[in-house]
Structure 1
C-alpha cells in the first residue's frame, strides 16, 4: 500500500505541485480576491525570515498589514525585517525571537504578547523542519515532532484568547501534500519505534497530524476559521537543505516562493476561504481532499481524539497550561 500511495502521490505531484501545475490552477484564480484592504489587520507568521514565511510577510506588509515575524534566529530575522520594511515602505513590522521547538519559551512568548495588549487577526503557522536523523531537544522531545506538531499546537491554542477578540480571526497551518502518503499513527508520535529513522516519513507524519489538528481546532473553536494548506513543491531554502536529491532532480520544475505562498496569502486576506467548511485543507485556492483515492489513510474518531489528548498531556509535563 505504501508503494501504491507513493506512486499515486508522485504522479499527482508532477501534475499539480510543480510550476506548471500552478500555472494551470492560477487560470481560475479571481484576480480581485486579494484586493481587500488589510490596513489595521495584524498577522503573525512563524519562520518569517526565509522561504514561504518571508514571501508571505512581504506580501502582507506591502498591502499595509501589521506584521509580527516569529523567527528562531535573531540575526537572520533582523535582516529579513529590514528588507521587508525597505521593500514595502511599511514600518509596522515587528520581530519576535522564538524557537518553536521549545514549549516553555512558546508559553512565555504568548503570555507576553497577550499582556502587551497587541491585537492579532491571523496566525500563520509556517515554521517547520525536516531533520533526517532522530535528534532530541533539551526537553526530551524528538525535534521534528517538537517543531512541526507540538510547537504548532501550543502556539495556536495559547493564542486563542487573543485571536478571539478579532472580527474574523483565522489560523493557517502550512502543511504538505506529502501527508497524503501517511495515515495517522498515534502510538509512536516521537518515532521511538521507527527503525531505521526516516526524516522524510517523520515529516509527512507530522504534516498528517497537522491536518487532523486543524480539523479538531475547527470543532473546538468554531468562531475562529482554521485552514491547512499545501504550497506545492516550491524552491525554498528548506527544500534545498533538507531534500538535496529531490531538489537537484526537480529544481527546474519547482514553483517560486511567491507561487508557493500564494494560497497562504489568499487564506489570510480573501473572503473566499470563509465560504469553505471550517477546518478545510487547501491547494491553489481550492479546498481539496485530505486523502488519495483508495489509499486507506483515513483515521478513526478515536485516533483523532487520541492525538489531541496526547498533545495536551505532553504540554502538562512542562508545568504550563495549554
Structure 2
C-alpha cells in the first residue's frame, strides 16, 4: 500500500518504541488502528508475520459465505490466488456466478470456483446446503463465515429468530457443525469475520433475540458480533476434538458496498482512511494459509490476537458465556 496522510509522523514517533506497545496503542486508539493508517504502521513494525508463500493453498478448498460482494468477493479472489479452489456460498446465485467467473479468469483455472446457494440466516437452507455439500463438495481446508447484514429494523428469520443473531451466530454454528465431516479430513480452519463494533456491546444474555426495547440495527449487529467472539473458547473445544480450529477476526474499517449502504455517513466521513477490500480481508486469508497454523479460539486483527473486551463492563462472566451458548445450541438443535 502507498503512503498515507499522517503515516510518516506516526512512524517517526514509533522510533525507539517497543513494537508491541505501539501496536497496543493503535488498537486502543481505534481511529488510527482500525484504518489504513494502523495497518500501514503495523506492516512496518518488527515481527509482522510473513505473508503466505505462493501456492500455499494448492490442492486445498475453502468455502466462503457472502462471497458475491465486498470482503467476501475479495477473500475468494485472494484465496484462489494462493492456489485454493473456492466455494462461493451465496443467496444470489447470479451475483455469485459473476464473481466465480472473475475468480476463474484471475486464477487461470476453470475449476477455481464453484457456486452454492444458501441463505445463512435460514437454518433450513443451511441444512440443505450442508447436505448437498457433503454429497458432492469434497474435503475443506477452511470455512469462512463472512455473510453479514445490518438491518434498519427488527427482522425475523424464517425460523423466527432476530436476523443478525440468526445470520452471524446461529447459521454459522449450524453450518460448521454440519460440515465437520468435510472439515475434519484435513485439519480444517474456521474463520468468523466479526467486527470491531462488538467492543461497544455486552453479551446479550438476557435478550439474545433483541425482542425488548427500541431496536437499533447497529446495536443488534454489534451484539451478534460480540456473541461470535464470546463463543470462541467453547467452539474451539467442541470442534477441536474433530481436528478443526476456529478463529474470529475483525477487518477494521474497510470500504465495502455493505458499509456504504448501511452507514453512509460514516463511510463518507472516513473515506480517505478506510481500508481497501484487500486490506480488510488480509487477516482472514492469512489465518487460512499461515504455516504453522495459528492457535485456535482467539480473536484476531491485523495478524495478531487481540483482547476481547476493552470497554469497562463489557467482559462477560463464564456463566454468561455458558448461558449464551445454551441459547445458541438449543436454537439450532445441538446438545450443549
TM-score, normalised relative to structure 1: 0.90
Post-superposition shift, 1:272? Answer: 4.9
Structure 1 counterpart of 2:215: 197
Post-superposition shift, 1:321? Answer: 8.9
Contact 2:251/2:281, CA 8 A, preserved across alignment: yes
What do residues 116-155 of structure 1 show as CA deviations (whole Å, max 9, x unaligned)? 2611110111111110211123322221111111111111
Partner Cα separation in structure 2 for residue 110 and residue 53 of structure 1: 19
Q: Which has the higher contact order (CA 8 A, sep 6+)?
A: 1
Structure 1 counterpart of 2:15: none
Of 211, 218, 239, which residue of structure 1 is paired with 2:229? 211
> 5+ residue gaps in structure 2?
1-24
Structure 1 counterpart of 2:93: 74
What do residues 27-52 of structure 1 show as CA deviations (whole Å, max 9, x unaligned)? 24344434462111010000111111
What do residues 149-208 of structure 1 show as CA deviations (whole Å, max 9, x unaligned)? 111111112112221111x31000000111111121212111001x21111111000000
What is the aligned length?
A: 307
* Secondary structure of the corresponding residue to residue 89 of structure 2: strand
Of 32, 36, 54, which residue of structure 2 is paired with 1:19? 36
Structure 2 counterpart of 1:3: none
Which stretch of structure 1 is more off in the superposition, 136-145 or 48-57? 136-145
Give matches, 1:5-16, under 5 Å. 12-16=29-33
> 5+ residue gaps in structure 1?
1-7
Structure 2 counterpart of 1:147: 167
Structure 2 counterpart of 1:181: 200
RMSD of aligned C-alpha atoms? 2.0
Of 226, 233, 254, which residue of structure 1 is paired with 2:274? 254
Structure 1 counterpart of 2:156: 136
Structure 2 counterpart of 1:305: 322
Tell me whether 1:45 sits opposite 2:64 in the alignment. yes
Contact 1:211/1:281, CA 8 A, preserved across alignment: yes
Partner Cα separation in structure 2 for residue 112 and residue 46 of structure 1: 15
Tell me whether 1:33 sits opposite 2:52 in the alignment. yes
Post-superposition shift, 1:215? Answer: 2.0
Pair 14,32 (structure 1): closer, same or farther in 2 beyond 3 Å: closer
Tell me whether 1:122 sits opposite 2:177 in the alignment. no
Tell me whether 1:269 sits opposite 2:269 in the alignment. no
Partner Cα separation in structure 1 for residue 292 and residue 326 of structure 2: 32
* Secondary structure of the corresponding residue to residue 273 of structure 2: coil
Post-superposition shift, 1:273? Answer: 4.4
Pair 117,72 (structure 1): closer, same or farther in 2 beyond 3 Å: closer
Contact 1:62/1:90, CA 8 A, preserved across alignment: no
Pair 117,82 (structure 1): closer, same or farther in 2 beyond 3 Å: closer
Contact 2:26/2:33, CA 8 A, preserved across alignment: no
Pair 141,225 (structure 1): closer, same or farther in 2 beyond 3 Å: same
Structure 2 counterpart of 1:282: 300
Give matches, 1:160-171, under 5 Å. 160-166=180-186, 168-171=187-190
Displacement over 3 Å in runs of 4+:
8-11, 30-36
